[in-house]
Chain A
Amino acid sequence: MWFFFFLFSIVALAGAVGVVALRNPFYSVLALVTHLIALALLFLLLEAQFVAVAQIVVYAGAVMVLYVFVVAYVGGGDQPELLSRVSAKQRTLAVVFGLAIFVELAIALLGTALKAVDTHGAKLATDYGSPAQIGDLLLTRFLLPFELASFLLLVAAVGAVGLAGRRGGVGPDHEVFTDTVRPQGTGTMAEGVGRRRDGHP
């Protein structure tokens, strides 16, 4: 048991580091996929079978595929400005922040406040984590969140379609979208600092 835990944890953490550190976004996506699969295995260790499978099917399966498509379309691996790094000062600052939070959380976990954590968990029912239990909970105790979640999915789908944009295909648009809302010359922030609306000076 411990062995598996450490194995999967290391893979997950390696994947995480890969996401953050790899320059090419495509590689980052792949690293995340690895991470997700390792995480699913960790979920199994926690006896959450349904969630683990959902993680693989939904997350690593659908969401990541979507990511792959977008990364292939948008790219970013070959554009010079995206390869340039953030300044060293900002990087160290970010690492310091992250480290600070980790230290805090670690203190919280290992300190006396979370004594209860240092247990082996409660006695589990036999169908803990099974689809039957999940289904039962979803449709009895958590019916409202379930319905709201489906509503959220609907909204997201509609929004994504709306964002997908216009007919007329790819090419320079006749007018920038924002011009319909705030035409040129009405005193936007961009004009105030002397830049055009499409982001170029």
Chain B
Amino acid sequence: MNIAWFLIVSALMFCLGAVGVLVRRNPLVILLCLELMLNAGNLALLGFSRMWGDGDGQIFALIVMVVAACEVAIGLGIIVALYRRRLPVDVDELRELHG
């Protein structure tokens, strides 16, 4: 099995995720697209791990999953807090940190 195929799929998923981050306005969906990108990375890691034959890539992928979980927890917490403060849950409206 040629690893390159997996890597192509991974690249495609990554780019789809990137486009999604740039295009969507709902922060929830942006987080979902971030998950896409992270998963694409996971796939690439596992592909390379298979190529080299040791388990380093798998451990790396596990840790990435842990990080993703933490980030989702915090991100969703922020979105819920926004919603409860009656702020618009829309990244185009939340732009106070500007110059």
Complex CA–CA separation, A138 to B55 (angstroms): 10
A7: chain B residues at CB < 8 Å are none
Q: How far, in Å, is A42 (CB) from chain B's closest CB? A: 6
In the bound complex, residues from chain B placing their C-beta under 8 Å from that of A63 are: 35, 68-69, 72
Question: In chain A, residues 12-57, which have Cβ atoms closer than 8 Å to a Cβ of chain B?
Answer: 12-13, 16-17, 19-20, 25, 28-29, 32, 35-36, 39, 42-43, 45-48, 50-51, 54-55
Contact of A181 with B by CB under 8 A:
no
Q: Nearest residue in A to B96 (C-beta to C-beta)?
A: A190
CB distance from A36 to the nearest CB of B (A): 7
Question: Is the beta-carbon distance between A20 and B66 smaller than 8 angstroms?
Answer: no
Contact with A along B48-65 (1 / 0, CB 8 A): 011111011011011101
Whether B15 contacts A102 by the Cβ 8 Å rule is yes
Count residues on chain A whose CB falls below 8 Å from chain B CBs.
Answer: 99
Tell which of A54, A129, A189 touches B96, judged by Cβ atoms closer than 8 Å. A189
Nearest-Cβ distance from residue B23 to partner chain A, whole angstroms: 5
26 of the cross-chain contacts (CB-CB < 8 Å) are A5-B5, A13-B13, A19-B36, A20-B16, A25-B29, A42-B9, A43-B46, A54-B65, A63-B68, A67-B72, A81-B93, A97-B18, A110-B4, A116-B51, A117-B3, A117-B7, A134-B58, A138-B59, A149-B63, A156-B70, A156-B73, A160-B74, A170-B84, A173-B85, A176-B85, A189-B98
Chain B residues with CB under 8 Å of chain A are 1-9, 11-20, 22-26, 28-29, 32-33, 35-36, 39, 42-43, 46-47, 49-53, 55-56, 58-59, 61-63, 65-74, 76-81, 83-90, 93-94, 96-98
With A54-B62, A82-B26, A159-B74 given, name 16 new contacts (CB 8 A). Answer: A19-B29, A19-B33, A20-B17, A43-B42, A48-B49, A55-B42, A67-B32, A70-B79, A90-B22, A91-B23, A98-B18, A109-B8, A128-B55, A141-B56, A155-B70, A163-B74
